[in-house]
Structure 1
Amino acid sequence: MTAPLIDPFARPITYLRVSVTDRCDFRCTYCMAEHMTFLPKADLLTLEELDRLCSAFVGLGVEKLRITGGEPLVRKGIMAFFRSMSRHLASGALKELTLTTNGSQLRKYAAELADCGVRRVNVSLDTLDDARFAAITRWGRLPQVLDGIAAAQEVGLRVKINAVALKGFNEDEQFSLTEWCAQQGHDLTWIEVMPMGDMGEEARLDQYWPLSDVRARYAQRFTVTDLAERTGGPARYVRLEETGQKIGFITPLTHNFCESCNRVRLTCTGELYMCLGQEDMADLRAPLRASADDAVLVAAIRDAIARKPKGHDFDYSRQRVVGQVSRHMSHTGG
């Protein structure tokens, strides 16, 4: 029952990303359609069911739990879930409990998150320009997000900024965003836009700004040193020697990062995706609800991990989107 999870390519699965809702108070153009049809609330796992699922994974060796959405902090009662998960930090079974957020609700919840043992958060922020922010998020308010980030800092949370690299949108902000992060003490990670959801091929190709270009532009202005740091995740890191900053690059297209993948993704309806870039998934809701005994659930988890593929197939070469998956990013939480 407690043997660790090892996939067919000898990769230990130690990281679970959990989408607790598909809903969000923003409508970012690369993540969602403007008029999304969200899941009926009755289809979502209860917070108690999410607790049981996550606890099963922790019992199988998962050491890092990242809560995502949609926007996780818009889920009603979500802090009860964080408080419950903190028991695994207290026991030592879980090494990190964290979340990815758009920052809109951090002023409200930052102190409570810190009390639950959260030590750092990832905040998605693609621009520091009010008008651009309103355009890219459709519904977003930049001052609210910046205030949320400030609230996180006030209670001692480390903040990492995740910026999606978008051609023709934030190319001219590469250095101003980097400078702002340096001033605020935030790490910064750039992410290539991924072909997820039905946004239209032309829109995806128009948005695609390869991070090889971003790195080359840094090298024109800074001394860029490659770092050997590996977290098992997709990011590759460099240091800008003049500022001492660590800059991350998540490059599913220009550099396939699958060889060290240690993660799986659980949706708010109990679907387990073994790979972000593949359609294959396992339904864990049925075995979860079939028996109060976790043996059935654990067996389903092990069966799913045995199907984890070697990698994904994202590709923008030859001016077409190859390997696109149909679900929106908000469905699996990135």
Structure 2
Amino acid sequence: MNGSLLIDNHGRKINYLRLAVTDKCNLRCFYCMPEDGLHWLSRTELMSYEEMLRSCSLLVKMGIEKIRITGGEPFVRKDIMQLLTAISELDGLKELSLTTNGVLTAPHVPELKRIGVRSVNLSLDTLDANRFFTITRRDEFAQVMATLEALLKHGIEVKINAVVMDGKNTQDILPLVQMTKELPVSVRFIEEMPFNGDGHVYTGLQWDYIRILEEIKSHYPQIQKLPDPSYSTAYNYQIPGHQGTVGIIAAYSRTFCGTCNRIRITPQGELKTCLYDDGGLNMKAMMRTGANDDELQTVLLNAVNHRAKDGWEAERTRVVHPGIHESMATIGG
């Protein structure tokens, strides 16, 4: 193995892996999946922890420096902390983070801190308990807020992810922004995407990143633009006097594709070089048919060297399933 860095066919360095460990979730957010859930993958259809660790180890040797664990909801998978601990010990990995809905996370926060997790993305679309129930179809608001408190207590950086949905939670934009006054959190507003998992036609974006910013500016005209870190998916801002920051992620508008440094592995082991593509390379299948690391490296490099320029091109060239009907839970949030 020659340890080649992952450079795509557009000259972009790939150093960030998002690994989805399960498709299952204990919430039923309507923008992600139907009320009755999805046809969950069987245990044999999921990558094993050994396969995940092998994939991560190989990709770190190839140049991946940051790994984010996602789902579904990572903490619904049994013994997830064992996998997180093993990944955190990979030589060459600079950062391990995760995305969670916070329902089951609070008891694990001290251990997350111990193994070196410095940043957690917490999904929270509203600060109103009743609207939380309407959006998620579950009464778990108190548990999520307990996780937020635990993360801050243990000094773990918190990014709150709020999907902005027309007619559902736009009244929460300003209360979420106000959180940054007293708390050292980054509140990031995300454009709604068409990954609802139930096959209904996405009718278009009502609240894009421009409209979200205009809404915030109408009440906080003093808000200031911050420099965006390299590879940032968010436009970052801060209100003078506030401890935290505000971000806006143009997930549907896809304005950040030109600097994209990330790839994904789904719970089934499928590599996605773009959120909007239809995959094609199954790491799990290759490992289970005896592929060695050199063979895996070859196909990984080939996939990265045939990457779509942006999310729009990836969506246009989908072959297996024209249109987008997956859930984010099956792709990896």
TM-score normalized with structure 2 length = 0.91
Contact 1:106–1:151 at 8 Å: present in 2 too?
no
Q: Look up the SS of the partner of 2:89 in the other structure.
A: helix
Partner of 1:211: 209
Partner of 1:201: 201
Partner of 1:43: 45
Contact 1:233–1:262 at 8 Å: present in 2 too?
no
Partner of 2:106: 107
Identity %: 36
Q: Which amino acid in structure 2 is aligned with residue 133 of structure 1?
A: F
Please identify, of 33-42 and 261-270, the stretch whose mean Cα deviation from structure 2 is larger: 33-42
Q: Deviations over 1:219-275 (max 9, x none)?
A: 222213222223314212122234254211111334521100000100111100111
Please identify, of 208-217 and 63-72, the stretch whose mean Cα deviation from structure 2 is larger: 208-217
Contact 1:212–1:254 at 8 Å: present in 2 too?
no
> Shift of residue 212 of structure 1?
1.0
1:74 and 1:252 mapped to 2: Cα distance?
26
Contact 1:26–1:140 at 8 Å: present in 2 too?
no
Contact 2:6–2:62 at 8 Å: present in 1 too?
yes
Q: Which amino acid in structure 2 is aligned with residue 220 of structure 1?
A: S
TM-score normalized with structure 1 length = 0.91
> Shift of residue 123 of structure 1?
0.2
Contact 1:25–1:140 at 8 Å: present in 2 too?
no
2:79 and 2:66 mapped to 1: Cα distance?
22
1:58-77 superposed matches below 5 A: 58-77=60-79
2:107 and 2:234 mapped to 1: Cα distance?
30
Contact 1:106–1:152 at 8 Å: present in 2 too?
no
**Alignment length, in residue pairs?**
321
- Pairing 1:21–2:17 present: no
Q: Look up the SS of the partner of 1:16 in the other structure.
A: strand
Q: Look up the SS of the partner of 1:25 in the other structure.
A: coil
2:231 and 2:28 mapped to 1: Cα distance?
30
**Structure 1 pair 300–140 and aligned structure 2 pair: CA distance change class (3 A):** farther
Contact 2:67–2:95 at 8 Å: present in 1 too?
yes
> Shift of residue 292 of structure 1?
6.4
> Shift of residue 309 of structure 1?
0.6
1:182 and 1:94 mapped to 2: Cα distance?
33
Q: Which amino acid in structure 1 is aligned with residue 144 of structure 2?
A: V
Q: Look up the SS of the partner of 1:201 in the other structure.
A: coil
**Structure 1 pair 324–209 and aligned structure 2 pair: CA distance change class (3 A):** farther
> Shift of residue 166 of structure 1?
1.0
> Shift of residue 168 of structure 1?
1.4
1:313 and 1:140 mapped to 2: Cα distance?
37
Partner of 1:331: 330
Contact 1:127–1:133 at 8 Å: present in 2 too?
yes
Contact 1:230–1:236 at 8 Å: present in 2 too?
no
> Shift of residue 199 of structure 1?
4.7
Contact 1:274–1:281 at 8 Å: present in 2 too?
no
Partner of 2:275: 276
Partner of 1:317: none
Q: Look up the SS of the partner of 1:41 in the other structure.
A: coil
Residue segments in structure 2 that go unaligned for 5+ positions in a row: 314-321
Partner of 1:5: 6
Partner of 2:155: 156
Q: Look up the SS of the partner of 2:242 in the other structure.
A: coil
2:59 and 2:42 mapped to 1: Cα distance?
26
The CA RMSD measured in Å over matched residues stands at 1.8
- Pairing 1:310–2:297 present: no
Q: Look up the SS of the partner of 2:126 in the other structure.
A: coil
Please identify, of 63-72 and 169-178, the stretch whose mean Cα deviation from structure 2 is larger: 169-178
Partner of 1:143: 142
Q: Which amino acid in structure 1 is aligned with residue 81 of structure 2?
A: M
